[in-house]
Amino acid sequence: METISLARGVPAPECIPVEELADCARAAVQRDGTTVLSYGPVGGYQPLREWIAERHGVEPSRVLVTNGSLQGLAFLADRFAGARVVVEQPTYDRPLKLLAARGVDVTAVPMDDDGLDLDALAKALDAGPKPAFVYTIPTFQNPSGRTLGVERRKQLVEIARERDLLVLEDDPYGLVRFEGDRPPTLFELDGGEQVVYSSSFSKTIAPGLRVGYFVLPQALDAELEALAVSTYITPVLLGQATVFEFLRRGNFEPNLERVRELLRARRDAMIDALEQELPSATWSRPQGGYFVWLELPQEVGDAPGVAFVPGTDFGGAPNTVRLAFSYVSPDEIREGVRRLSAAVSARGEVAAAGPASRGYAT
């Protein structure tokens, strides 16, 4: 029996516009080869920086384009090594590892279906030194799939202003919305004073290009650029120029529409299968993104033939599971959930297999 992966938070192969990107890469080299194949500005490929800056209404000098947004997160963690950082519980595990490796004192604040619990946040803020920043993934969160409600967004920005707090809004999934109205980003509500915004073309074009970015206050941008220079001199300009060519040709929105439909079918398959197969469990109902958060009646154990990541990897409770619907086909999703359900009924508990056992989620 081949294992079905509900662990991999990566796009299904058909989400990646391979032929068009091959053409864009060639065109980027032909048009601007001596720039994109040389060392260049550490902040990124200038036309792309300008495109991002315009989209977010800031000066290009406030945009730092990195080799994936995770690289920018690593720079931010370097900058605030040893400080206190507040995160959501659960949260994306890689930042947790990056922060831990830099001696950061991490405080985890619980969430509910409407996102970060702001009363719990206020208590956590009162209970310790002022954190260097609050790390949040407000839209289609990894791992929970939850989205912070509009009222809470406003309140969070208010809290940040009152307490002069820096908030890092990590938003790689915001544009991958299948339905419902888009709430304003924290960055939009705040106007870019207290909120650092990060996003990526990993979920909207292709992760292998490794193009992510940060919109930063000017002073912090200069500090992170200094860290970036001493790490790689220049980020991978070819990937950035390929992304820019893709945008310049007007491919971004049509591709997003295509990707949304592919993922919507997968999300629907997962929710339908959960309703049929696991009536004793509860789960999040995301309007976009890659993930569903499953809460089982008992602790998680072993499930033959299906891989997933246990919620504990993200700081979640032992009865929680992250299910990714992004990677496999709708039929495989249905079969994967069926196998999970069979394991739950057979033993009353299930365990992570495959990628989960290696201790890394995407």
Ligand X SMILES: Cc1ncc(COP(=O)(O)O)c(C=O)c1O
Residues at the contact surface with ligand X, assessed by CB under 6 A: 9, 68-70, 92, 137, 142, 170, 172, 200, 202, 207, 212, 362
Q: By C-alpha distance, which of 171, 174, 229 is closest to 196?
A: 171
Amino acid identity, position 85? V
User: Using CA of residue 193, residue 229, residue 92, residue 175, what is the dihedral sign?
Assistant: positive
Q: 3-state DSSP helix/strand/coil percent for the chain, to nearest 5? A: 45, 15, 40
- 3-class DSSP assignment, residue 116: strand
Pick 142 or 312: Cβ nearer ligand X: 142
Number of C-beta neighbours around residue 179 at 10 A: 10
* Inter-CA distances, 286 with 282, 325, 358, Å: 13, 11, 27
Least distance from ligand X to the Cβ atom of residue 288, Å: 13
- Angstrom distance (rounded) from CA 307 to CA 5: 5
Least distance from ligand X to the Cβ atom of residue 164, Å: 25
- Angstrom distance (rounded) from CA 47 to CA 57: 15
Pick 47 or 72: Cβ nearer ligand X: 72
Token code pair at residue 226: 């200094």
Least distance from ligand X to the Cβ atom of residue 162, Å: 26
Pick 325 or 339: Cβ nearer ligand X: 325
Pick 66 or 194: Cβ nearer ligand X: 66
Q: How far is CA 105 from the centre of its chain?
A: 22
Residues 212 and 67: beta-carbon distance below 8 Å: yes
Residues 214 and 198: beta-carbon distance below 8 Å: yes
- Angstrom distance (rounded) from CA 220 to CA 223: 5
Amino acid identity, position 148? L
Pick 134 or 281: Cβ nearer ligand X: 134
Token code pair at residue 105: 């004192």
Q: Which helix (H) or strand (E) covers residue 310, if one does? A: strand 309-310
- Angstrom distance (rounded) from CA 75 to CA 69: 10
Pick 170 or 313: Cβ nearer ligand X: 170
- 3-class DSSP assignment, residue 47: helix
Residues 25 and 238: beta-carbon distance below 8 Å: yes
Residues 109 and 116: beta-carbon distance below 8 Å: yes
Pick 68 or 183: Cβ nearer ligand X: 68
Pick 139 or 194: Cβ nearer ligand X: 139
Least distance from ligand X to the Cβ atom of residue 200, Å: 3
Pick 341 or 362: Cβ nearer ligand X: 362
Residues 247 and 94: beta-carbon distance below 8 Å: no
Pick 46 or 198: Cβ nearer ligand X: 198
Residue nearest to ligand X (CB): 68
- Angstrom distance (rounded) from CA 275 to CA 228: 47
Least distance from ligand X to the Cβ atom of residue 169, Å: 10
